[in-house]
Amino acid sequence: METIKNAANYVSESVQQAGATTSKEANKEVAKDNNASLSSRATAAKDAAGDKMDESKHETHADVHKEAAKH
């Protein structure tokens, strides 16, 4: 039963990681957009950094659950 729980948690973390990656990439594009206001670009850059942290956190959690599901 614990293996199933770990597998489900792995999938959940992987989905959340993908969402953070998508958000990070979108924010990076806004930050680079010369047509966007300076405040929008700065906010997007800050948000992209936060998304990168979330992405890393979810990747780490996914890896832990993946390894736990193997045992």
Condensed to tens digits (0 to 9), the pLDDT of residues 8-67 reads 999 999 999 999 999 999 999 999 999 999 999 999 999 999 999 999 999 999 999 999
Phi and psi (nearest 5°) for 13? Answer: -65, -35
Pick from 3, 1, 8, 10: which is nearest to 64 by CA? 10
In which domain, by residue range, is 36 found?
Answer: 2-70
- At residue 71 the predicted structure's pLDDT band, cuts being 50, 70 and 90, is confident
What tokens were used for 67? 């390894």
The whole model's pTM is what? Answer: 0.88
Q: How many domains does the chain have?
A: 1
